[in-house]
Structure formats: structure tokens, C-alpha cells
Structure 1
Amino acid sequence: MAAVFGLAVLLILGAGEWATRNELETQWDNLRRSSEVQALALRGVATRYSYLPFTAAQQPLVADLLRHPASQSVREAANAYLQAVNAHAGSDTLYLMDDKGLTLASSNWDTPSSFVDQNYSNRPYFRDALHGQAGRFYGVGKTTGEPGLFASAPVQRDGKVIGVVAVKVRMQPIVDTWAQLLDPVFVTDERGILFLGSVSSWLYKTSKPLPVEAVRQVQHDEQYGAQWQPAPVPWKLLQRPDQPGAELRLPGSGKHYLAFAEHLPDLGWTLTLTADSKVVALARQQAWALASLASGLLVLGALYWQLRERRLQENRQARIELEQRVHERTHALQQAQAFRQSMEDSLLVGMRARDLQGRIVYVNAAMCDMVGYAASELIGCLPPYPYWHPDDLDRHWNDSDTSLAGKATPQGNENRLRHRNGSDVYTMFYTARLIDGDGRHIGWMSSVVDITAQKRAEEQQQQREAQLQRVQRVITVGEMASTLAHELNQPLAALVNYAAAARALAAQGRTELLNESLAALSTQALRAADIVGRIRRWVRQHPEAREPCDLNAAVDQSLGLLLRAEARRHGVAVRLDLAPEPLRVRADRVLLEQVVLNLGLNALQAMQVHATPPMDHELLLRTRADAGHACLEVQDRGPGLPPEIAERLFEPFFTTRSDGLGLGLNICRSIVESMGGELLARNREGGGAVFEIRLPLHATPPVASP
């Protein structure tokens, strides 16, 4: 019997221990799950209005008040704006402070507890925003004495913080939810001060000793009221190393709770949920009773087990329902916040929301102003919409069908709308899918940008460009005429000289020399005709005049035409430094010779106006091959190229000579560039100038072997 009795005792004790552990695990699991739900709800309330200070800080009216705080009209407008935004968002108070912490405008400006003219420079959220950071702070209001969560954002202009916008949010709704729970729920800050909870007598008491510096800081910030003094909470918290939480004891009351702490590092808070430990004791006592009657009351034991499982199922079902309600409420808050956020982000452009059938379900004020219709006149409308332009109905139908089919281009569509007053409004429509909180596609959201001013500016620009093209054609005609006159000047001068020589030789009866002069005269006449034809083809950009030719031969031909005779007439020595091998290029031979002749004549004229002695005058023509190019340098000993002249050297109609047209160098450069080369100019070492022609070398095809 003793053994049986001992076994019974062991069974009873084992059953009690098992029941205790099982119930503890159940309670800890319940607390863990509840803490996840409550933490989600707490974060949702704490961050619900964090966007509001930043959005209000972007309002130009806020910056105007900070720049002109003494302006009554600006202050009234700012008060009205903050009051409207606060009422629309549903927050407690929205207010603006200058960089000294003085409140200039507030949404509650017309109430007895107005924040206007109150100074909050000692608040941490003000200091954080003043340093360019978003601030968050929970405390008792200095003006109203009511606690709340304060969020702030800086007002910046030109990289400098000029003020702070803050919003106050009451946390009472979540406290009211906790009040419906049977066991205490509370939140402590990073210092261990209990500031939010279902037991009001515990508020603003400390859960651990505070350093003197921490007490002074809380009192300086007036976080929990101007008269706050540290006082310990009326309970003790005992850590349980073998459990995921602690045991909370209320001395004098005999109450014990299981306490589970959830740290919220993003908020700097700690959320603690409790459960009465009587449930564990009751489970242990029930296990003892069941174990005592187990040998003879199996049926009753089975019934008890069924009842126990039913109670656990009911608890689980109740927990699931609570989690579902919290999830639905959080989901609704997220939906509202996402919708309001998109509205706030698009205040400067028109916004239009349509369902999947194309029915307008929302328009903002900017859209109404753009088309002249009230929101009540547009919401519920199906295509065709009243602001569609009657001349573009086909295009409007096509764009609408494309958007509703999900094929709108990301670059947007340009549309012409008809304002209610009959004026035309040019817009750009950008359409994207409208997604609800469950990820379902419920319609289309369009951003509408008014580009009427841009279109008018483009039309004016097109008109100016057309006028510029007409002026350019007139200038081109003048340049062609000047070019032709300039290029024919040398061969015509040669014709006059040869004709005069022919008359003199005819009078003298020198037949042989007369025939040579007449042959040279005929050659110059043909050259003039060739120049006219080549210039005509060059102007028309006909490339067929190009042919392989030798740059050295072009230099020799230019010397024989006029250059050497002009050099002798001016008393200038001509020196050649030509490459030993032919420098073959693909170019228009006549125009290339004309460029060489023009550059040589320019060099002779430059040396005539220079004050150096005539014996120092020298014209050097040098050719060479350099990195796949054939190069010709025309070097003189003239005055060189001053910086102010070098910058404008190739501009049309720029000249330093009183009788010049200013087209020679511009024409020469155009001819060289048309042949794929370039014309460069620089000062010559020792005095004078160097003009260099660089043309691509033309490869000679190899001769086939017999």
C-alpha cells in the first residue's frame, strides 16, 4: 500500500508539475502573440502622422511666415492652412515654430488652449528638427496638460533650417483598447519611465533608479509635466531565467502576473503585457484533483479534458478574432494613410482616379481648377467626360481605351482639353494602376500636368526659328555672292595683266611672246570658268569634284599662277621646303590651289603692313607628312596674330583691312573642311604667323604584279 500510495503521490505531483509547465507555455505563447499584435497597433498609431510635418514644411506659405513673422495676413493664412490640414488628417494639433522655439501659427489658434506664442524650445523634438532631423517625442503637453506623441520636421530654405513644423497625436485610442483587457498593459521609455498604460495610477513612475543627469533632463524637457518628480512603480519585477518573461508582483495585494516585454527599438520604447498567474495555479490544482481521482474517475477525467480543450479552443478563437480585428483596423489605417499620402504628394498637379470601367471616383482641387468643373460634376462621370475637346474626340476615346486596357505609355500622353469657359488647356496625362491594400487592381490613377504655357512658348520658338531661317537664307545668298567675287578676283586680275601684255607685244610685233600671253590669257579664262563650276558644285555639296592630287603640285601651281610674281612685286623672298615624296590627297584640285594662293597673298599683304625691314620679309611654304595627314604650312614674317584677332580669325565678315570683305579665311576653312581636313592658325616663332592645312593622306592602290 505504501508503494501504491507513493506512486499515487508521485503521479499527483507529476501531473501538477506537468499542468503547471503546460499552462505556463500556453500563457507565454498567448502573451507573445498578443505582444506582436499590440506592437503592430502601437507602431501604426505612433507613425500614422509622421508624414504630416514634412508635408506641411514644403508649403511655401510656411516659409513666408518664417520670413515675415510680423505679417498678420501671412499669419492668418498660415493658421487657416494648418487648421485645414489638421482637420483633414485627423491629428490633434499641427503647429509651426521659428528657430527659437516660438510658435507662430497653429491649427488650434482660435481655442483657449492655443499653442500660438508658446515657446517649446526645451522639447527634444524641436532640437532634433533644428538639427535637420525628424523628431519624435512623447510627453505631457506644456499648454494643455494632455499627453501625446509629438513628431517634427525641419523647414529648410537654401540648405538652412529656418523653422520647425510639429504635430501632436493623442494615444488615448490605443489606451482605451487596452482598458478592455483584464490584465495590465503598459509602455516604458528608454529611461524606464512608465508613460502609457491601462493602469492610470502607474503613469510617469520609474521602473528602475534614474541617474541624476537623466532626472534633470526629463525635468528640463518637462516631458511628464513641470512638477514631475521620480517615484518608483508600486510593483516589483522578478526575472525568471528559465522563462521567456518575468514575474510582476504587487506587494500588499497578493497579485502575481506573468510579464512579457517586447522591445521596440525603432520607437525607443518597451511594451509589456501581463497575464494573471492564478490561471497557472488553478491549472496545477486541477491537475492534482484529476490525478487523485484518475484511478476511479476515468470518464470524469475524459470529460474534464474535453472541457479543458474546449476552453483552450475558445481562448485561441478569441485571440484569433482579436488579431483579426486589429489586423482589419490596421489595414484600414494603412489604406487611408496610403491614399492620403498619394494625395499630399500630388497637390501641385491634377489627380484623377477612375475605376476599372472608366468612371471617375476622385479628382483633386488642381484638376477641377484645370478644367473649370467642380468635383461633384465630375465624380461618377463615364466617358466622354465634359472637359474633352470636341475637335479631339477620336483621340480622347483612343487614349481612354488604351489607359483602361493597361497599355498607357510611361512617358505620358499629351491631350488638349476644353475648359468650361471655352479656352483650350494643353496637358500631359500619366496613368498608373490603382492598387488597394490587398494588392488588388481596382482602377487607374492619372497625374495631369498643365503644359499650356510650355506649348505657347514652343509656338513662339517655332516662329522665331522660322524668322531666323529666312534671315539665314538671305545671309547665305550674300555669302555665295561674296565668295564668287572673292575667288574670281585673282584669275580676272591675271586676265587683265595678260591682256595688257598682249596689246604691248602686238604693238611691238613680237609674235612668239604674243602667242604665249594669249595662251596664258586663255588658261586664266578657263580657270575662272572652272572656279565658277567648282564653287557651284561645292555650294550644292556635290562630292564628285574630288580627285587624287599631289599637295606639292598644288603649291607649284599656285606659285606659277600669281603668287611668285606678287612676291617679286612686293620684294618678298619665297622659300620652298617641300616633302621629297609626293603627298597625295583626295581633294578638289582647283579649290585647293585657290586656298594655297589666298593664304600666300594674305601672308604677302601682312608683311607689307609690318614695320620690319624688307630684307627680313620671307614667305616659306613647307609640306610634310604627319600621322596619316598631308600638311602644308604657309609661314610669314608679318605682325603675327594678337589674341583678340586670333579668336575671331575665321568669322565671316571679320577683317583688319579697310578694303577687305572678311570672307577669305572663312571660305578657305570651309573648302578645306569640305575635303575632310582642317585649317589651323598660330604665331610663328621669332615673329609672324603660320597657317597650316591638314588633309588626310590618300592611299595609292598597289600595282598588280604581271
Structure 2
Amino acid sequence: MALRYQRLLWLLGAFALLLAVGATRFAYDRALQAQFSDLNDRGSSTLTLAAASLSGLLSRFERLPGLLAEQPALRALLRYPDDPAHVDVANRHLRENAERSGASVIYVMNSDGVTLASSNYDQPTSFVGGDFSFRPYFTEAMAGGLGRFYAMGTTSNKRGYYFGAPVDIGRDRLGVVVIKIDLDQIESAWAYEDLRIIVTDTEGIVFLSYRSDWLFHTFGALDQARLARTRETRRYANAEIGEIAHARDTVPGGHAVLRTVANDGGREEFLALHTDMPRAGWTMQVLLPTAGAYRQAMTLVSTGALALGLLGLAAFSLWQRRRQLAERLAVQQAAATELEARVQQRTSELKFANSALQEEVAERRMAEGRLRQTQAELVQAGKLAALGQMSAALSHEFNQPLAAARNYAENAAAYLDRDRLPEARDTIGQILGMIDRMTRISRHLRNFARKPNEQLRPVSLADAICGARDVLAWRLDKTGVTLDLDIGTPAPVVTGGLVRLQQVLVNLVSNAIDVVEDAADRRLHLRAAPQGEIVEITLRDHGPGVPEALQARIFDPFFSTKEVGKGLGLGLSITYNIVRDFGGRLSVANHPEGGAVFTLTLRTANLEAVEAAE
């Protein structure tokens, strides 16, 4: 029973669908026919107005050539064509009439078709001297009628309509007066978003069009006879006559449509209406886009189909509601039973989740305790690392003065053996000086860990360099390295601390000695030059230089390029921190001619401040 009922529903649905498709198609045809009828009525009115506008423009100028043919100035010109005075009067007279009437050009031709005077006589495209005897407007006027012709000017290359009237003096026909009308303004005024107008001549060639690519083209092939007539009159000068790709068809209601290729390469369709203009020999067409008619028809049909669909949906919804009402009680009973079972299952799951959550809380508390213990161990490790770093720094900074003191002690012993007491006493004084220096250095080594308490003051760069040379004199003599100084006279005064500045210079020069100790060129160049509010100090060696990949890390603690056992990698790091405490900068680069260049930039001070500090 249920299967038969289901089949019946399928058959009824299929029948309703076929009925809806047929009704929709019929309604769409009727709506489209109504839209095309309305479009045809609108196009007919537009076509009538456009044709009347164009005919009125031509009628306005139609009688003007005959009136101008009676003007004394033009008749005198044809009688005496070689008289310059008559030519000048005629040119000015024609220009005045052209400006007054709105004509493009007015000109006078003799009986041979040669132009004697023209309103554009002083323009680059002047018609004066041109032979236009091949134009039909000249031959028709010389035959005694009113010449009419539309063409593209062979001189100006502008389209226009020509009127020609004969100039008769007595029984002699001496020439023709011609008026050219520019129709470009009408053509541009016809171009609307939903309105297109084209005009074709007696040969079917488009010469007025809203689309420039259709100009001088035909709808269909142009036979040789018609093409020869066009070329004989040079109607369109040297323009190439082409063919417009198109197709014609009919739509519901018997309306003729034209299908062409749009400018963007797509397809477009127009309702084509035409009317003849017998006096000019033209055919005017109005092309109305049909896309709006199709959309409007589709909108009407869609609206009707939507309304019917909504009505059918309401009926189906009512029927469905009756069926669902019978099923709802059974569904509610089954849902109640299922809900009770799911509540019990959910309660059991919540108990299990609560137990798991308690276990996770206990684990997290244990992890937090381990984390605190780890943090305490890391703090202790950091303290030990800092202590090791300070010990290494002390070892590095005392190494240089101790080496110098040992050297002086050996010299003092030698002097005592030789009973050279004054020299021995002087050498012992140097040793005491080294001990005092180590005392001062130990007091300032805290700069590596934190900013020192010593206030900055003006320091003579000459004094700092002198102290550094005293510390490193034995190394310079032993290695054969020469230190070339150029710090100017007087020497610059910088802001810093004397001991720490000596420490900076000792570290830099000592590193440079290590670099050039085995080099062929063992010269070191120490330069200083004030630059406004700063003093730039450079130390250059002739070693292999610093690789670019290492320049960014060379001032890091414990980073060294020396062999194992020859350095702790702290000298440049300590130097960098001292310079930064001075408010200066320390950088390294490679010299273009080889070797490394360390650049130390310090703030400048004045000599009076140094003397006051001393």
C-alpha cells in the first residue's frame, strides 16, 4: 500500500513538473513578445525623430548655395579669376558666410572643377587650387540642377554632406558654389547607452555610425559594380571598404533582430528598424539592444513562477504538517525513552571525567613543584657561571701587567748583579707602578658585570695612550711590532675614565699584536680625529682581517678566534662594555687594502676641564 502511494506521488510530481515547464515556456514567449512590441514602438518613435532631425539639418542648407551664387563678389571672381583683389574679397566673403551659417566649408569652383576661392583659404587644408570635378555634386550642378553628395573630403579627410549650385551669368555657366556640412556632431549626439543609429548610402555603405569600426563597412558583400561607382567618385577617399560580421533572425512577434560582434569580442543583439530618406538617397537604421527585453521577460516569468511556487509550497507544507502531526506523538515517546538512557550514560561519563580531572590536578601540582626546584637549580648555576666569568676576567686583565712586572723584575735583578743601583731602583719603581695599576684594574673590573660607580670625566687621549704603551712596551720590543701614532696636536680630549680607557687601548693593541706577530708587515696604525662632538679613534693592522660572518659575534663573551690556550675570549667583550659605559661605540670592519680596522667613537671634552680635574 505504501509503495503504491509513493508511486502515485512520483507520477503526480512528474506531471506537475511538465505542466510547470510548459506553462513557463508559454508565459516567457508571451512576455518576450510584449517586450519586443514595446521596444519596437519606442524605436519607431526614435527613428522618426532622428530622420526628421537629419532631414531638417540638410534642408537648412539646401537653398544657401543658390543664394550665394547670386552674390556679386562671387560672380565677379568667376568673371575675373586672375584678379587677386577679387580672389581676396571672395575668400573673406565665403569665410564670413561660413561662420554665420555654421557650414564647415564654402568654396567656389570654375567650370573645370578647380577651386578659385574657399572659406578655409588660409588653413593648412585649404581647398583653393583643388580639382574636384570628379565629384557628383559638381557634375549635377553644371548640368543645371542642385548637386547633392555625401563623401569624405580628399583634402581634409573629414566626412561631410555637399550641396552644389550653378553660377549663371547671362547664358554662360561659369562655375559652381559648394557648401560642405559637418555631420560629426549629429553622429556623436546619437550615441546613447540603449540607442544606436547608423546611416548607409545608396550603395549600402555605413558612413554615420555610433561605432567607429563600422564606418565604411557594409552588412553583406559589396558587388564589384557598386564598389566601382564608389571608387569612381572617391566618395570615401582612400578608405578601405570592409564587411561587418553579422547575422539576422526573427523573434516571437515577427520582429527582425541583428546579431553582431561587440567591441569586447562578445556577442550582442539588436532590434533593427529602418527608414528611407529619398531626397538624400540614404537609409537610416535604429539598433535597440534586446538584452533588456530578455531580462524583463525573464523577470516577469520568474516572478510569476516564484508566486506559483510559493503557493504550491504552502499547499505542500499544509499537507506535510498533517502527516507530521500524526507522527509527532510517536517520535516524542521514543525521544523521551532515548533521553532517559542518554542522561544515565552522561552521568556515568561525568563521574569518570571528574575522577580523571582530580588525577590530572595532582599530577600538575607535582610538576609545579619540580619546576620550582629546577628554577632554583638554574639560579644557582647562573651564579656559578657569573663567578667563573669574573675569575676568567681577573685572570685575563692581570696577565698583561704581571708579564710586564716579571720583565721589569728580571731587569732589576740584572742591574743589582752589576751594581747599577740607580737603574735597579728605577726598574723597581716601574714594578711598583704595575702593582698600582693592577690595584686600579681590580677596582674597575666590576664594569664587566654592572655599571661602575666612577663618574665619567674629561681624559686626555695622549695620557691614555702613553699608559697603554708603558704596559705593552715589552711586547712591542719582543715581537718587533711598531705602533704608528697620529693623534694630532694638541691631542683630543674625550669623556671617560683614564684607567679604563687605558684598559681599552691595551686590549685592542694587544689583540692587534697577536694578529700581526707572524705577519710580514708588523705595523699598527693608531689614529684619532675630532669630528664635531665626537672623537673617532681607529686602530688598523696588516693581518688577515676579520671574516664578515664573525664580525657580529666578535664582541661576545668567551668568543675567540685564537688557538686553544691562547685566549679566553673576554678581552673584546670587556672592552666593548667599557666603551658603552663611556657613552661611545666600538665596531670592527676590514680595510680595503687588507687588515682589520677597529673604530672607537667617544664623546669629546675640553682641555680646560682636564686641567681642572687634575
Shorter chain as denominator, the TM-score bin is: 0.3 to 0.5
- Structure 2 length-normalised TM: 0.46
Structure 1 length as normaliser, TM-score?
0.40
Structure number having the greater helix percentage: 2
Asked which structure has the greater CA Rg, the reply is 2
